[in-house]
Amino acid sequence: MAIARIRLPENARRGETVEVRLVIQHPMETGFRRENGERVKRNAIHSLVCRYQGAEVFRATLSTGIAANPTLRFFLRAVETGDLDFWWLDDDEIEGTVKARLVVT
Amino acid sequence: MKRRDLFALPLIVIPVRVFAQAPNSHISTTDPLVFSFTKGRDVLPGKVKIELPALADNGHSVAMTVRVDSPMTEASHVRAVHMIAEKNPVRDMAVFYFGPNSPRAEVGTRIRLNGSQRIVAVAELSDGTFWSDAVQIEVREAACTDGG
């Protein structure tokens, strides 16, 4: 199970643009690396979705071209206090989720 | 030729730069990867900006920001930005999708590069037009296929 971290401002004003930073602990194996002569199977996060109050605000399709421990930084508009839900899927069909609360004052 | 005439020389270069901004100057419309999302439509240089260092010691993790100049309203917003690494074994590096609720079409991430190459970004706007930017990066030590 992957470990992820989200960074958000402590609170935001209504209508304000908020920067969201996400780091997921994941090897993003390319499938080209060798360990003791054996090829390590490709395993990268290929889909990632961010929902804010249940509505999709950001989506990304990633590949092995993204560095290990993928990091993403994007923006969203603060509407009201609610949860940010991240969901992702890797080549091993392992899902990951992480949640954070955006406080709007 | 007078020495001061040498100062006029850079003026000759400017029309060449203008020519480089012709449609599809960053990409090939018949490239299967590009065709998969443009469906053969023209890609105009401009509106998109890739921020990437000119030189990287290694290609394992290079910070990159891509930004599209757009008002991000219901009527005019960025739908997606496709990132292409021309010399990576997997060329379609990432696709970022936005919506009318995104206040700013900007994404930052860290990428993996298999050697010196050109990185191309193609943005798809809500009016169906495509815009692009390309930057060259020198990578001293490649990632991906180093066999290590």
- Domains of chain A, CATH where assigned: 4-102 (2.60.40.10)
Model confidence pLDDT, tens digit, residues A47-80: 999 999 889 999 999 999 999 999 999 999 999 9
- Please state the pTM of the whole predicted model: 0.86
State how far the Cα of B148 lies from the Cα of B141, in Å rounded to an integer.
Answer: 12
Contacts of A105 (CB under 8 A, 6+ apart): A11, A12, A13, A14
User: What chain A residue is nearest to B65 in terms of C-alpha separation?
Assistant: A73
Q: Look up tokens 């993204």; give the residue.
A: A66
The amino acid at residue B42 is: D
State how far the Cα of B83 lies from the Cα of B122, in Å rounded to an integer.
Answer: 7
Residues in chain B: 148
ipTM for this model = 0.92
pLDDT at B43: 93
Nearest to A46 by CA among A30, A57, A33: A30
The answer to whether the CB of B126 falls within 8 A of the CB of B102 is: no
Q: Does the pLDDT of residue B24 top 90, yes or no?
A: no
Q: Does the pLDDT of residue B57 top 80, yes or no?
A: yes
Model confidence pLDDT, tens digit, residues A21-33: 999 999 999 888 8
Contact criterion met (CB < 8 Å) for A77 and B83 = no
State how far the Cα of A74 lies from the Cα of B108, in Å rounded to an integer.
Answer: 7
User: What chain B residue is nearest to A62 in terms of C-alpha separation?
Assistant: B94
Model confidence pLDDT, tens digit, residues B66-123: 999 999 998 899 999 999 999 999 999 999 999 778 999 999 999 999 999 999 999 9
Residue B10 pLDDT level (bands cut at 50, 70, 90)? low
Nearest to B107 by CA among B27, B53, B49, B55: B49
Nearest to B117 by CA among B141, B137, B143: B137
Closest Cα of chain A to B20: distance in Å?
Answer: 28
pLDDT at A88: 95
Q: Does the pLDDT of residue B44 top 60, yes or no?
A: yes
Query: In the predicted model, what is the mean pLDDT of chain B?
Result: 86
Give contacts of B70 with chain A, Cβ < 8 Å. none
pLDDT at B145: 59
Nearest to B143 by CA among B82, B93, B83, B81: B93
Provide the chain B residues 69-98 that lie in CB contact (below 8 A) with chain A: 83, 85, 88-98
Can you list the positions of beta strands (E) in chain B?
A: 43-45, 48-51, 55-58, 62-68, 78-85, 92-97, 106-111, 117-125, 130-141
SS3 B36: helix
pLDDT at B148: 43
